[in-house]
Every structure is written in C-alpha cells, then in structure tokens.
C-alpha cells in the first residue's frame, strides 16, 4: 500500500482551489498522510522535473512551478498512485475525463493544477523529495 505525492501547483493555489482539491481527495477515500505549503527554487524545480530536461516545455515548466507557492501532499490508501492519477485526469485537460480535477479546473497542458507520481519508484523518490519520514503519518 504505497503512498504517492500530490501537488497543487501555483495556479491551483493562486485560484484558491486547494480546499476543493482536498475535498475530492477526502471524498474518494484516499488518506492525507502529510501536507505542507512550499515555494520551489529554480534548482528545486529543475531537480524535481529532471526527467523532462531537454524537452521544449522544460524551461517554461520550471518558470511556472516556481511562480508561486505550491501545496505538497502525501496521499495514501489502497491503490493511491493510480487512484490519485485517475482523480487528476489526463495531462492535457482537453483530453481529461469529466469530473476529474484537470477537466474541471485546468486551463492548459502546462497550467494543469495538480501533479501526481506515476509509479511506485517515482512516488517513493518524489515523496522523499519533500518529506522526512517523521512528517508522514504512519499507516494503520
Ligand atoms: P503528468 O503531470 O500528467 O505526469 P508529464 O509527466 O508528462 O505529465 O509532464 C509533467 C508536466 O509537464 C505536466 O504536468 C505539464 C508539463 N507538460 C507536459 N507536456 C507538456 C506540453 N506538451 N506542453 C507544455 N507543458 C507540458
Ligand atoms: Mg509525470
């Protein structure tokens, strides 16, 4: 039962959507095990998105992700990685299913409101990027 990392990106915080997103998480039965508000430096953002380095949108993504505070969350519960991705919807909001966060709120592929880890390996790495062990509510 792995934890996953969720982020409300700067557009979500600016537009005061944090509460609505947390409500969706709570209503889905997923469990909030950790949460904080942080502001990424350019170095942080480049490291976090290192896998996308060299892509045409990389610099813009780093600018956007450092443009304001973000809310980072450790999300747990059975199947949390897949279920949080399902709740977020597809990367491109135009392709996301109805009732997903991105379909409802995102304004573009880049300004897509939320982040979610995409595998157990990335979830582990991304959670520990932001959280120490003692900042995460234990399971059970
Ligand atoms: P996801 O966030 O759904 O895991 P991803 O890992 O492919 O998507 O990309 C990470 C982020 O990079 C994504 O949330 C927004 C940005 N991005 C991806 N593809 C993009 C594109 N074609 N144009 C602009 N930004 C893009
Ligand atoms: Mg991704």
Nearest CA to ligand 1 atom 24: 110
Confidence (pTM): 0.98
Is a pLDDT exceeding 90 seen at residue 125? Answer: yes
Q: How far is the CA of 138 from the centre of ligand 1 (A)?
A: 31
* CB proximity list for 134: less than 8 A, separation 6 or greater: none
115 is annotated as an active-site residue: yes
For the chain, report the end-to-end CA distance as a whole number of angstroms.
Answer: 11
Q: Which of 115, 116, 123, 127 is catalytic?
A: 115
Q: How far is the CA of 137 from the centre of ligand 2 (A)?
A: 24
Give the C-alpha separation, 15 to 132, whole Å: 28
Measuring CA to CA, how many Å separate 53 from each of 59, 88, 124? Answer: 8, 23, 20
> 77-107: string of b/e by CB count within 10 Å (b at 16+)?
beebbebbbebbbbeebeebeeebbbbbbbe
Counting ligand 1 atoms within 8 A of each CB, the residue from 57, 60, 111, 122 with the most, and so the one to mutate, is 57
Question: With bands split at pLDDT 50, 70 and 90, how would you rate the model's confidence at 135?
Answer: very high
Counting ligand 1 atoms within 8 A of each CB, the residue from 110, 114, 121, 125 with the most, and so the one to mutate, is 110
pLDDT digits (tens, 9 = 90+) for 22-65: 999 999 999 999 999 999 999 999 999 999 999 999 999 999 99
Contacts from 29-32 at CB under 8 Å and sequence distance 24+? 29/77, 30/75, 30/76, 30/77, 30/80, 30/83, 30/84, 30/87, 31/75, 31/76, 31/77, 31/80, 31/137, 32/73, 32/74, 32/75, 32/76, 32/137
Nearest CA to ligand 1 atom 11: 110
List residues near ligand 1 (CB under 6 A).
Answer: 52, 57, 61, 91, 109-110, 112, 115, 118
Is a pLDDT exceeding 80 seen at residue 140? Answer: no
The full set of domains in the chain, from first to last, is 4-40+70-134 (3.30.70.141)
Residue pair 110/64 in contact by the 8 Å Cβ criterion: yes
The residue assigned the tokens 């990424």 is: 40
Q: Pick from 86, 132, 114: which is nearest to 22 by CA?
A: 114
């Amino acid at each position: 039962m792995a934890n996953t990392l969720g982020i409300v990106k700067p557009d979500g915080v600016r537009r005061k959507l944090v509460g609505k997103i947390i409500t969706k998480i709570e209503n889905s039965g997923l469990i909030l095990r950790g949460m904080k508000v942080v502001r990424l430096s350019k170095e942080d953002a480049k490291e976090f998105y290192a896998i996308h380095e060299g892509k045409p949108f990389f610099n813009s993504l780093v600018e956007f992700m450092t443009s304001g505070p973000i809310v980072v969350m450790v999300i747990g519960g059975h199947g949390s990685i897949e279920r949080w991705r399902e709740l977020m919807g597809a990367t491109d909001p135009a392709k996301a299913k109805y009732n997903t966060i991105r379909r409802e709120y995102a304004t573009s592929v880049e300004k897509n409101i939320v982040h979610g880890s995409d595998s157990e390996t990335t979830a582990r790495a991304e959670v520990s990027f932001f959280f120490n062990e003692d900042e995460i509510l234990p399971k059970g």
